[in-house]
Structures are given as structure tokens and as C-alpha cells.
Amino acid sequence: MRRRVLIVDDDASLLALLALHFEELGWEVRLARTCQEALAHAAPPLHLALLDYQLPDGDGIQLLTHLRRGAPDLPVVVMSAHSHAGVMAEASARGAQHFLSKPFSPSELDAFAAVVP
């Protein structure tokens, strides 16, 4: 079975780039632009979630909290253009394994994705 990633971001261009990147790595990709769409695509099995911090109908931290209820061990990366310490600390406290400041390079993402079982 291929590994499955859920990518949530309201930026369609970034979604397309990340989808292409993960597909080239052999992952199955699920995309969402809102928290509501993400919840519709969050059915197991998921192997990784990439969540934007700011979304039109909520934020990545709320979504992370919801995902944790159904999949407490799911590796989660929170992405944000706002990389101040408070956002990073909140993401970490809620269970995110990694935080990426936008813009980020594919190698930053690959380093994390490579260790996902």
C-alpha cells in the first residue's frame, strides 16, 4: 500500500506543487483548501498530514486537534508564513512533529517525509 498524505492549504498553487512533489515520491495525495474539506478527506489510513496554520474556516491547530482524536500517532507538519515563536510553540504543544516556515524548500519537507513509516 502506498503512503497517504493529507495536504491542507488555501493556496491552490502551493497545493498543486506539494501534490506533484508527493506524487513523484510515490505517495497517494489527498488535498483540501479548508478545515471542512480536510475532515472529509481525513479517513484512515493517513501516514502524514501537512496543515496550513491559517485557513478560511479555522486554523491548522484546530484541525490538528481534531485529527489527533482519531489518529493520535499521525505525523503532522504545520506550515505557516507567520513563523513567530508563539505559533510554533502552539503547534508543538498540540502535537505537531514539525513546523515549516513558508516559503520552504522541498528538501526541508523531504527530510521529514523520509522518516514517516
Q: What CATH code is carried by the domain that includes residue 22?
A: 3.40.50.2300
On the question of pLDDT at 113 being above 80, the answer is no
Tell me if residue 92 falls in helix, strand or coil.
Answer: helix
> Which segments of 55-94 does DSSP mark as H helices, in order?
60-70, 85-93
Domain holding 47, by residue range, is 4-113
Q: Sort 90 into a burial class: Cβ within 10 Å, 0-12 / 13-18 / 19+.
A: middle
Residue 36 has a pLDDT of 95
> Which segments of the chain does DSSP mark as H helices, in order?
12-24, 35-40, 60-70, 85-93, 106-113
* CA 25 – CA 33 distance, rounded (Å): 22
pLDDT band at 63 (very low <50, low <70, confident <90, very high): very high
State in Å, rounded, how far the first CA of the chain is from the last one: 12
Q: Per-residue pLDDT tens for 24-48? A: 999 999 999 999 999 999 988 999 9
Q: What is the pTM of this model?
A: 0.92
Which of the given ranges, 15-24, 59-68, 108-117, has the highest pLDDT on average? 15-24
The answer, yes or no, to whether the previous bond of 75 is cis (omega within 30 of 0) is no
Bridge partners, residue 28, by sequence: 4
Q: How many domains does the chain have?
A: 1
